[in-house]
Chains A and B, each alone.
Chain A
């Protein structure tokens, strides 16, 4: 147990939290627009393979992340078509998206197993990285970690201070009223869904390009679902998503460290812990349901 270095542990938490942070942030925007997209897992794994394949073939992790965002968004476009134009049930469509994404990714991923992706360089923050403790924990990561953190701030500010954020929230709280005010409910929702897809794609690619880094089938192993739980945990607030992501990142890093430390508990029981913690957190948070957007999960059709 003494082998666990707190500095490295905290640094690892920053990395482990990033994929679910990205995915949850995207889903937060989607849900604030009143849409429940359960396809996060499918979009993440699609982003993971799109990013991986492009990064390997082009040699550029940046292109990989761009492709991952595009791949995630493309898949979410299917969901948008189904739920916003064909007015299909959102729960069923989200499940379809996940099943489809898992199939698609394993098809695309053939021949990419056992390959190493091009490394993503750390962001050079000069003297900041040399600060003892803080430098290692906060200032010696890859650019995606900071992008994710920046995105948290951006989403928070967008929802809180801008007109666009207000419209998005209006659409999510009461789509009939928003429609009556002349806002394009479907357009706003489609854009939110695409943003959510792109974020989930980035999160997936972060796993396959940086966190692991390699490609294996089903490698997101529930991260997308944990991201969904995170949005509930955060009571649909951007700042608390960050908190939640660190908590879940912490749990997964800690259990990996305990596995490595060779505890007497079989590995499988430790691997359960992130999922059990998720359930526990859901139970604690579900007492307060008042925060959920009013129109969450309901279809909108102008005739009604």
Chain B
């Protein structure tokens, strides 16, 4: 009979092996799902994971990879800090929206001023917008001990309503003939977050994501604050004795996550999306949770996981147009991935022992 035996320490081998294993199992289960939907499973999997990278139209899809991965990685890096410390910010979607609104707000207020100062101001506003939104759950947790999970999530719905109000009201394009949505920032030279290297999809958000990965790596492996974050998550009591102030960690982790999510939103609204519109947010804030876990809360892992998740978005769109695979199937596919990852994580912390029942 099968028994579980707790490992004294998490297995190093399985720590690295579980994410690829989870991806593999998800592909198999996803294939079964696609087959159940009446699509050829092998073709569907190939369309999602192979075609965007190496297929006929890969020149079009490859830049998309960076464009989609950048916000996911930026948000997931921020979330991972909190998750490591046992601080559950699941409202990144709201912080992403608020960053976009703040960034776009600055641009729209300065329009049509053409100056080099516009874009840096937008970056600052974006980070501040996300940060401020994340400070609400942080402050409530500090002051009143309110659960940050529920508050940060409730604020997503508030931010979505605010986005709609802005797109229909104060930020509406005055020259837009009454259509909802703001001015298109792509047509505003100073505010546009364009490609840095044409044809690669590389924009400022990608650069920011790369910097965030490096800084997070340094923070976690070289800095005492990073050590405190890990300590607070793994041994809260020990952390207390070591002089870690939980309040400071809450403010830092939520604040950083909010600022990064805000940046992601700002880069998105100034570049790929172009304008504030009702359907601006597409769930990056929630998918980033999957990315953070799939990357094992490690900066480098998150970068890889972000690219993989971006691939499923792009491949999913492709499978939608070429094979008629429903968009929801991809969403389900991403959800499955997190499920299987959490399930196979058992192998990291426990040893499976097969043995015969002993005499009592």
Contact = CB atoms under 8 A, between A and B. Distances in A.
Given A95-B289, A271-B161, A87 B346 contact: yes
B329 A96 contact: no
20 contacts: A82-B342, A86-B342, A86-B346, A88-B342, A88-B346, A92-B338, A96-B290, A96-B342, A99-B334, A103-B331, A107-B328, A107-B332, A225-B153, A225-B154, A268-B162, A269-B165, A279-B154, A282-B140, A287-B144, A287-B145
Contacts of A38: 149
A35 interface: no
Most A CB within 10 A of own CB, among B150, B345, B349? B150
Given A100-B332, A268-B161, A278 B150 contact: yes
Given A286-B145, A301-B4, 8 more contacts: A82-B342, A96-B339, A107-B326, A107-B329, A272-B157, A276-B158, A282-B140, A282-B150
Contacts, number: 134
Given A266-B168, A272-B162, A99 B338 contact: yes
A287 B145 CA distance: 7
Given A110-B326, A268-B165, A96 B154 contact: no
Given A86-B345, A283-B140, A303-B4, A78 B153 contact: no
A266 B339 contact: no
Contacts of A100: 332, 335-336, 338-339
Contact of B157 (A92, A103, A221, A282): A221
A278 B158 CA distance: 11
B147 interface: yes
A267 B164 CA distance: 10
B338 A89 contact: no
A106 B336 CA distance: 14
Interface in A133-178: none
Interface of B: 4-6, 88, 90, 140, 144-147, 149-151, 153-155, 157-158, 161-162, 164-165, 168-169, 286, 289-290, 293, 326-336, 338-339, 342-343, 345-346, 349-350
Interface in A232-290: 232, 266, 268-269, 271-272, 275-276, 278-279, 282-283, 286-287, 289
B158 A275 contact: yes
A286 B293 contact: no
B343 A103 contact: no
Main secondary structure of the interface of A (DSSP, over half): helix
Contacts of A95: 90, 289, 338
A250 B148 CA distance: 25
A268 B163 CA distance: 9
A93 B342 contact: yes
Nearest to A87: B346
Contacts of B158: 272, 275-276
Contact of B154 (A78, A88, A109, A222): A222
Contacts of B336: 100
A82 B169 CA distance: 45
A269 B5 CA distance: 53
What are the 6 tightest A-B residue pairs by CB atom distance, in nearest-first order?
Answer: A100-B335, A103-B332, A103-B331, A268-B165, A106-B328, A107-B328
A229 to B, nearest CB: 5
Interface in A78-92: 78, 81-82, 86-89, 91-92
Most A CB within 10 A of own CB, among B6, B88, B151, B154? B154
B4 to A, nearest CB: 7
A304 interface: yes
Contacts of A101: 335
B150 A232 contact: yes
B5 A303 contact: yes
Contacts of B165: 266, 268-269
Contacts of A304: 6
Contacts of A279: 140, 146, 150-151, 154-155
B350 A87 contact: yes
A280 B158 CA distance: 13
Nearest to B335: A100
Nearest to B167: A268
Interface in A34-55: 38
Most B CB within 10 A of own CB, among A82, A92, A287? A92
A43 to B, nearest CB: 13
Contacts of B5: 303
Nearest to B350: A87
A102 B147 CA distance: 23
A272 B88 CA distance: 22
B150 A225 contact: yes
Given A268-B164, A282-B146, A91 B88 contact: yes
Contacts of A110: 326, 328
Contact of A228 (B150, B286, B329, B333): B150
A104 interface: yes
Contacts of B161: 268-269, 271-272
B346 A303 contact: no
Nearest to B347: A86
A23 to B, nearest CB: 14
Nearest to B137: A279
Contacts of B289: 95, 99
B6 A303 contact: yes
B151 A87 contact: no
Contacts of A226: 154
A287 B153 CA distance: 20
Contacts of A275: 154-155, 157-158
Contacts of A81: 343
Interface in A203-239: 217, 221-222, 225-226, 228-229, 232
Contacts of B146: 279, 282-283, 286
Contacts of B4: 87, 301, 303
